[in-house]
Amino acid sequence: DGGITQSPKYLFRKEGQNVTLSCEQNLNHDAMYWYRQDPGQGLRLIYYSQIVNDFQKGDIAEGYSVSREKKESFPLTVTSAQKNPTAFYLCASSLPLQTGNQPQHFGDGTRLSIL
Partner 1 sequence: RKEVEQDPGPFNVPEGATVAFNCTYSNSASQSFFWYRQDCRKEPKLLMSVYSSGNEDGRFTAQLNRASQYISLLIRDSKLSDSATYLCVVNPLFSGGYNKLIFGAGTRLAVHP
Binding site for partner 1 (CB under 8 A): 31, 35, 40-43, 45, 48, 50, 56, 88, 90, 94-97, 101-109, 111
Q: Which is nearer to partner 1, 60 or 95 (CB)?
A: 95
**Smallest distance from the beta carbon of 22 to partner 1, in angstroms?**
15
Buried/exposed code over 32-59 (b: 16+ C-beta within 10 A; e: otherwise): bbbbbeeeeeebebbbbbbeeeebeebe
* CB hemisphere CA count around 86 (13 angstroms): 6
Q: Which is nearer to partner 1, 69 or 108 (CB)?
A: 108
Q: Which is nearer to partner 1, 18 or 56 (CB)?
A: 56
**Smallest distance from the beta carbon of 96 to partner 1, in angstroms?**
7
**Smallest distance from the beta carbon of 80 to partner 1, in angstroms?**
26
**What Å distances lie between residue 47 and 32, 91, 115, CA to CA?**
9, 10, 25
Q: Which is nearer to partner 1, 97 or 114 (CB)?
A: 97
